[in-house]
A and B are shown apart, each in its own frame.
Chain A
Amino acid sequence: MKQWLRLRVNGEDYEVFTEPWKSLADVLRDELNLTGVKIACNEGQCGSCTVLIDGQSVKSCLVLAPKANGKEILTIEGLAKDGKLHPLQEAFIKHFAVQCGFCTPGFILAAKGLLDENPDPTEEEVREWLAGNLCRCTGYVKIIEAVLAVAKGKS
């Protein structure tokens, strides 16, 4: 009962043959080796599986594989360009917003989803937007600082 999917991931086109009950997170990790997409809760609560689908932040563990057909997907692996890190990636490093790193890809993509839509958010808006991403290590303060620093840098 496998079916073919066409996806554009990090700018490259792929054809994947997979069962419809696999999630997009499973497909990205298992078929495309994009293990920057993390699966923790597998229930859409923790946000570690966050990717951008057609520019919107989405929990990829809740997306059944066939629903991703024809979509454009961005994972953490697709952020750096020619070896140069994205401003969000640099800010997370500079502001010590990474400890174990497990939540980090999800946070960075969620933050990109926010800043692409709202380039100058208030702290309140950043916190509210990132409420769907959980971190057990950092206590969130540095993460929020990093995101705000990028927003301020842009404006």
Chain B
Amino acid sequence: MRPFQYLSPGNLSEAISLLAKYREEAKVIAGGTDLVVQMRRGVIKPKFVVDITGIPGLDYIRYDDTQGLRIGALTTIRVLEKSADLWQRYPIISQAACKLGSAAIRNVATVGGNLCNAMPIADTAQALLALSAKVRTLGPEGERVVPLEDFFTGVGKTSLKIGELLVEIQVPVPLPNTRGLYLKHLTRGSIDLPIVNVAVLVTLEPEDKVCKDIKIVLGSVASTPIRARKAEEIMRGKRIDDALIHRTAQVASDEAHPRPGSIRASVEYKREMVKVFTRQLIQEIVSQYN
């Protein structure tokens, strides 16, 4: 690992000043479970490592009936996993959290870190995108609130500007009769990077089975997590039946564009799994309404 200077700001404005001062030579560390690995491999070589875990007030899960959910960026994945409130209100986030890495990783990894690391496989990203989450950032020029969809710009790339820190994730109150599921398809039981991961959120009128809204998020099949928008359009506003589910799953599969040459799975297999899991997740969600 290349030598660096370790800095530990005690508050947000100190952290932002450091990041603004050292610019591309500085990297933020929170849990470190992605960063340390990348530094050790020489993928990134910061001169300054800015540890933000000393900043108070960024570790919380708050909910209210009008604003919805607010999660502090330094909340660990383990805290998300264990929150009974979250399981009750936004179980798709809890499902994603409990699939991340392994228990010891989840004890220190943070949701902010998972998003800022910006891998197309990021577990919490899939669930939060399905929920139309936004992220609040703080920087030298002040505060911004950005839809999570616009936050990821490429593999490992975000729309964060120099000096900016992600401080909060905001999730709106879901429409009534909304249910979601997250699935991570792995070769092994855990730890491994997924072949594909899929998050589906459905809002259904239970009496007439009309799909009021649907979000399909696909991970590991593009340079960022993606919404399968064409597939969503096929289903949105229609009465859900098996034929429609199959068509939707097929279109979702067509929207996936995994890169060839992945050691984990071929393009064809990944596309097929997107189809299979989109179908299975929608079917499972619909059956939960009965």
Contacts and interface: CB of A to CB of B under 8 A. Distances in A.
Contacts, number: 84
Interface stretch (B96-104, B158-166, B222-230): B96-104
Contact of B3 (A19, A56, A128, A132): A19
Q: Is the interface of A mostly helix, strand, loop or mixed?
A: mixed
Interface residues of B, number: 28
A134 B187 CA distance: 15
Interface residues of A, number: 30
B29 to A, nearest CB: 7
B49 A20 contact: yes
Interface in B25-51: 29, 32-33, 36-37, 39-40, 49, 51
B145 interface: no
A21 B5 CA distance: 9
A131 interface: yes
B108 interface: yes
A62 interface: yes
B40 A42 contact: yes
Interface string A113-131: 1100000000000011101
A23 B37 CA distance: 11
B207 to A, nearest CB: 37
Given A43-B40, A44-B104, A58-B108, 15 more contacts: A1-B3, A20-B49, A21-B4, A43-B37, A45-B191, A57-B103, A57-B104, A57-B107, A62-B36, A64-B6, A64-B29, A110-B103, A113-B104, A131-B191, A132-B191
8 residue pairs, one from A and one from B, having the closest CB atoms: A132-B102, A20-B6, A131-B190, A21-B1, A57-B104, A56-B107, A62-B36, A66-B6
